[in-house]
């Protein structure tokens, strides 16, 4: 298995985590048409905490992550990151949805890494990483390039900066996607099954990068079926089933001593 050594000698821009990155999900309900997907989910993630989310397919894991950065609206309840609503503002005791440009700005607080990488196919690895910070007017192009090269080096891909996604393996593409998410200095990083589209021998190189972020104290929320990995890096694990949090606790509590029979069945299957 390839292992990525992350270079520590270069100070690189990274997620902000000095006491930042608290996520509060409060009684969130969400339906698609007749399908009730989230049924009163509440979850608090403290700054620097690593929370693993596990649960059967269709239990609402992706939807929950998508509500956190307001890729989905909620029907009821609220989500804040360090006290800020990503997609809403409170006016007269009610939440009003913000205009798209404000949402885009606030959404940069929350990085999301997808199962299928979602890189821009027509851009090189370097351009994928510089695109958003330059587009949002965060930094000048030259500065963005310097930071992007540092980030690519950090995920072990300095010599692939000029490669297009089609010239990269799945593991390399996912590492570029992580570098791209970090380029906006998010307070929180969300991972939605970051290794499930990868060939087994490429899983380790992506997990190495995530592990390193976890050790640095970045606030992370990770949806994954890799039970060994989620046990190792999570401070807390949440088991979601039919849009409800059925278990929440330390990896040991949730994985070794689940109380709910649906959690017991699921864990027996995936371990």
Site residues, Mg ion (CB under 5 A): 61-62
Contacts made by residues 8-14, CB under 8 angstroms, sequence distance 24+? 10/150, 10/153, 10/154, 12/147, 12/150, 12/151, 12/153, 12/154, 13/147, 13/150, 13/151, 13/182, 13/183, 13/185, 14/182, 14/185, 14/213, 14/216, 14/218
List 21, 47, 60, 111, residue binding ligand ADP (CB under 6 A): 60
Min dist. Cβ of residue 15 to ligand ADP (A):
23
Q: Cβ of residue 102: shortest distance to ligand ADP, in angstroms?
A: 23
Task: Pick from 17, 22, 28, 61 the residue near ligand ADP by CB under 6 A.
Answer: 61
Minimal distance, residue 113 CB to ligand ADP, in Å: 14
Interaction residues for ligand ADP, span 29-58 (CB under 6 A): 32, 35, 37, 55, 57-58
User: Alpha-carbon distance 182 to 138, whole Å?
Assistant: 13
Closest CA to 110 of 201, 228, 23: 23
> Residue 79: which H helix or E strand, with range?
strand 76-81
- Shortest Å, Cβ 9 to ligand ADP: 38
Region of 10-18, 44-52, 61-69, 153-161 interacting with ligand ADP (CB under 6 A): 61-69
Of 224 and 234, which CB lies nearer to ligand ADP in the complex structure? 224
Which residues would be at the binding site for ligand ADP (CB under 6 A)? Answer: 32, 35, 37, 55, 57-63
């Amino acid at each position: 298995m390839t292992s990525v050594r992350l270079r520590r000698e270069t100070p690189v821009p990274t997620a902000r985590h000095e006491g930042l990155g608290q996520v509060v999900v409060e009684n969130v309900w969400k339906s698609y048409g007749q399908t009730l997907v989230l049924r009163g989910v509440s979850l608090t993630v403290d700054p620097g905490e690593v929370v693993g989310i596990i649960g059967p397919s269709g239990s609402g894991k992706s939807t929950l992550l998508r509500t956190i950065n307001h890729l989905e609206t909620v029907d009821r309840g609220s989500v804040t990151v360090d006290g800020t609503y990503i997609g809403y503002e409170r006016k007269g005791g009610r939440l009003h949805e913000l205009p798209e440009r404000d949402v885009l700005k606030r959404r940069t607080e929350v990085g999301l890494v997808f199962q299928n990488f979602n890189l821009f196919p027509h851009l090189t690895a370097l351009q994928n990483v510089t695109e958003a910070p330059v587009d949002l007017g965060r930094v000048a192009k030259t500065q963005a390039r310097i930071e992007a090269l540092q980030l690519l080096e950090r995920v072990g891909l300095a010599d692939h900066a000029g490669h297009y996604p089609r010239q990269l393996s799945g593991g390399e593409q996912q590492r570029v996607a992580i570098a791209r998410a970090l380029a906006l200095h998010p307070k929180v990083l969300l991972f939605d099954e970051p290794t499930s589209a990868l060939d087994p021998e490429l899983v380790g190189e992506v997990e190495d990068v995530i592990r390193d972020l976890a050790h640095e104290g970045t606030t992370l929320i990770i949806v994954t079926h890799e039970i060994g990995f989620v046990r190792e890096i999570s401070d807390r694990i949440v088991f979601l089933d039919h849009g409800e949090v059925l278990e929440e606790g330390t990896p040991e509590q949730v994985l070794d001593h689940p109380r709910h029979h649906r959690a017991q069945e699921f864990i027996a299957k995936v371990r």
